[in-house]
Amino acid sequence: MKKHILFYLGILLVGLSFLGLYLGYKPRAGAIGNGPNDQLIWFTFATQFISGICSILLSVAKKK
């Protein structure tokens, strides 16, 4: 059961990382400031994506 939870949460993290990347660069109307913070967007994408991939790999490699 724990393997399934870890697997689905890993898929959720990978999906959320791409959603955050999409929303970070989505055009906005109005005065938002100087634009998106590239370092913050890519750092959050990388950490969520890597942790999602790691949890998927752990769930697949985890023995009974």
The pLDDT tens digits of the residues spanning 4-60 come to 899 999 999 999 999 999 998 888 777 766 778 889 999 999 999 999 999 999 998
**pTM, full prediction:** 0.82
Q: Rounded distance, CA 39 to CA 32, Å?
A: 17
Those residues whose C-beta lies under 8 Å from the C-beta of residue 52, and which sit 6 or more positions away, are 9, 10, 11, 12, 13, 14, 16, 17
